[in-house]
A and B are shown apart, each in its own frame.
Chain A
Amino acid sequence: ADYKSEYKVSTVVPAPFPWGLAADKWIELVRERSDGRINMKAYPGTQLVAGEQTKEFTAVRKGAIDMSVSSTINWSPQIPEMNIFALPFLIPDYKAMDALTSGPVGEEIFEIVRSKGVEPLAWAENGFRELTNSKREVRSPADLEGMKIRVVGSPLFNDTFTAFGANPAQMSWADAKPALTTGAVDGQENPLTIFTIAKMHLVGQMYVTTWGYVADPLIFAVSHRVWKDFTPEDQEILRQSAIDAGAYGIEIARKGLTEGDDSLYKELESLGVTVTHLTDEERQKFVEASRDVYEKWTEIIGQDLVKKAEDSVANR
C-alpha cells in the first residue's frame, strides 16, 4: 500500500524532556535511514486524544494515531499488566529496571501489546518517579498525611497514595500544572527531569523526596493498521531506529541522577528546593505501608508475571 505523507507520533511531553528528545531522535533516524520515504511528526501533549493520555492506547490500536512513544502507566487502563512497573518498590535501581525491560518481563509485555493490535519496537525511559510538594519535607508516611497529590493513569496510584495517608487526585499532565499553580493539589510524582525542565519550583513545589517508588519505562510503538503496510526492510528501519533512539533516551533520562553524576540534585538545591534522600529505614516505612497494595495488585496483574519480575530483579 502507499505510504502516508506523514505519520503522526503521539507523546505526552515534547523536547527538551528526555521523552520528547527520544521521540525526535526516532523520527530523525527513520527519516535518514529511509532516505526521506518515511516522514513522522511528533504531537506532544497527547493532543491527538485531546490531552486525555489514558485514551492513547485505544487510539493507536484503532489507527487514529499511527505511532507513539508512550508511558506504560498511560496504557494501563487497557492493559492491566502494564501496572507491573508501578508496583510500589518493586524496582530498587536502574539495573533492576534494565533487567525487567530486557528480560522475560519485557518480552511478555511486548507480546501482550502485539496481541492487542499494536507493534512494540523498543524501550525508552521517563525515569524513577519521585515525590514533590509545596507543603513540607516528607520523610515518612505521617508527613504525607492529608496532602492532595496529583497522580496519573491507574487506580494503583490511588491505592498506593491512599495507603501512604495522602489524598490522591487523578488528572492528565495538561490539567496538572494549573492544578499545582492554583493549589488545587499540593504535590505530584514524576521523574526529576520533568521537574527541572517544567520548572516546577516556580509553582511552589519546593520539597523533593527521592524514594524511587516506581519506575516509568516508555515504549516505542506502531499501530498494526499502518505497520502491515511497511515493507519488511522499512519495518526493520523503524525497529532499529527505535532501539537506537531508546538507548539515547535512556542515557539522557539518567543524566545527573546516578551515583557517579548527581548534578541534577545539585541543580535542584541551587534553585532553593529541599531535596530529601530517604535512608533505608525511612524508605522501609513506605514499603511497609504499601505492602497490602502490592499484594492486591499482584492479583490484578497476574502472579506469574509478578513472580517473573521479582526473579529478574533478584538475579540482576
Chain B
Amino acid sequence: MEQETAADTEDSPQEKYPFRIEEAIGALAMGLICLISILNVVVRYATNVSFAFTEEYSVFLLVIVTFVGAGLAYSNKGHICITFVVNRFGRNGRALLNTISFLASVSLFVMLVYYGSDLAIDEYLFEETSPALGYPTWIYTMWLPLLSLAVLFRIFQVQWNDLRKKR
C-alpha cells in the first residue's frame, strides 16, 4: 500500500531519491507562497499599502505546486491509492489491474495536455486578461498542459522501471 509520503520521514528522503527538477521547483514555489503570505500579513497590519494583488501570484504558485508535486508523487509512490484489492489478486489479475491503473492515469493526463493547450491557445488568440492584474491569462494557463506533460513523463518512467524490474 502506498500512502502519504510522511511515511518516509524517519529516514532522509533527500538521499533516498535521485534529485528531480520538480522537487526544486516545488520547494521554490512553496517558499514563495510563504514569503508572499507573510509579507501580506506584515503589509496589511503595518502599512496602508495595497497588497491584495499578490493573491493572483499565490494562487498561480499553488497550481504549480500541485502539478509539479503530482508528478513527483508518481515517482515517489506518494499518491493516495487503494492497493489492497490489487494485492489480493494473483499474477495475471494484478497485471490486468496495473494496466487499467496505468491507462487511467495516462488518459486523464493526456486529456489535460490536450484540453489544457486548447484552453491556453484560445486565451492567447482571444487576448483574455486576468481579472485581478490584467495580465494575459495564457501565461498562467499554459502551465497546466506543460506540467501535465511532465506528469505524463513520470507516469511512463515509473511504468518502464516497474516493467524492467519484473524481468
Residues on A close to B: CB < 8 A? 54, 58, 62, 77-78, 80, 116, 145-146, 148, 152-155, 158, 162, 165-171
Contacts and interface: CB of A to CB of B under 8 A. Distances in A.
B103 interface: no
29 contacts: A58-B119, A58-B123, A58-B126, A58-B128, A77-B128, A77-B129, A77-B130, A77-B131, A78-B126, A148-B44, A152-B131, A154-B131, A154-B134, A155-B129, A155-B130, A158-B132, A162-B50, A166-B50, A167-B48, A167-B51, A167-B52, A168-B50, A168-B52, A168-B53, A169-B132, A170-B52, A170-B55, A170-B56, A171-B55
A77 B52 CA distance: 19
Interface string B48-70: 11111101100000000000000
B51 A80 contact: no
Contacts of B55: 169-171
A168 B56 CA distance: 12
Contacts, number: 54
A114 B49 CA distance: 41
Interface residues of B, number: 21
A155 B131 contact: yes
A159 B74 CA distance: 43
Contact of A145 (B48, B119, B126): B48
A84 to B, nearest CB: 16
Nearest to B56: A170
Most buried by A among B52, B53, B119, B133: B52
A301 to B, nearest CB: 13
A265 B44 CA distance: 33
Most A Cβ at <10 Å: residue of B53, B56, B133: B53
B159 interface: no
Contact of B128 (A62, A78, A158, A170): A78
* 8 closest residue pairs by CB, A with B: A155-B134, A169-B52, A170-B132, A146-B48, A54-B131, A167-B50, A78-B128, A170-B131
